[in-house]
Amino acid sequence: MEFSVGQIAARAGLAPSAVRWYESQGLISSARTAGGARRYPRSVLRRLAFVRAAQNVGLSLAEIRAALDTLPEGRAPTARDWARLSAGWQTRLDEQIAALTQLRDGLSSCIGCGCLSLDRCALSNPGDLAARDGPGARWLSPALRKARPVRDSG
C-alpha cells in the first residue's frame, strides 16, 4: 500500500511540508505517479519515527542520514537496527549529559554563557584564569557549544 504526502504526514503526525523536507534531505524517498504526485510506501512511517526519535536525542540530520544509509534501500529500520545504531550514540549522549549536569550544578553562580567579563565565575572562569588568554568564551563545555539541529516547526 502506498500513501500520498498528506496521508503519510497525517499518519506520522507531521505537516506535509515536513515530509517533503525530510525527503529533500535524503531521509526518506517516494515514487512518483504518472501525474507527478508523490507516493510513499508504508516503510516510510517507520523511517519517519526513526528520524524523530534520533532528533529527540540531539542528532543532526547529517548523522541521521548516515545512520539510515547503513540500512538496505527502502527497508524500514527495525528494533535491532535502532539498538545497533543507538549504541554508537551512547558516548555522545553521556558527554552531553555530563556537560548539562555541570551547567545545572553551577547555575547559581553562572548563566552558562562562558562570559569572560566576570572577574569571578566559579563555573566558567574561576579566579579569572582565562583573562590571560584574551577575550572570548573559553570555558563553556564544548558539548554545549555545538550547533543544535535545525528542526522543522511544521
The tens digit of pLDDT for each residue in 52-95 reads: 988 888 888 998 999 888 888 777 788 898 888 888 888 888 88
Measured CA distances, 152 to 14, 18, 55, 66, 149 (Å): 9, 6, 11, 19, 10
Question: Looking at residue 146, what is its pLDDT?
Answer: 57
Confidence of residue 150 (pLDDT cuts 50, 70, 90): low
Q: What is the dihedral of CA 82, 26, 64, 13, to 10 degrees?
A: -70
Contact yes or no for 10/147 (Cβ under 8 A): no
Contact yes or no for 39/3 (Cβ under 8 A): yes
Query: What average pLDDT does this structure show over 111-115?
Result: 52
Instruction: Give Dmax (Cα) for the chain.
Output: 69
Question: Looking at residue 135, what is its pLDDT?
Answer: 63
Interatomic CA distance for residues 150 and 58, integer angstroms:
10
Question: Looking at residue 91, what is its pLDDT?
Answer: 84
Whether the model clears a pTM of 0.85, i.e. scores above it, the answer is no
Task: Detail the DSSP E strand segments found in the chain.
Answer: 2-3, 31-32, 38-41
80 by Cβ neighbours in 10 Å (0-12 / 13-18 / 19+) ranks as: exposed
Query: What average pLDDT does this structure show over 123-133?
Result: 67
User: Is the pLDDT at 143 greater than 70, yes or no?
Assistant: no
CA neighbours closer than 13 Å in the CB half-sphere of residue 107: 6
With cell 515514487, the residue in question is: 31
Confidence of residue 97 (pLDDT cuts 50, 70, 90): confident
Confidence of residue 144 (pLDDT cuts 50, 70, 90): low
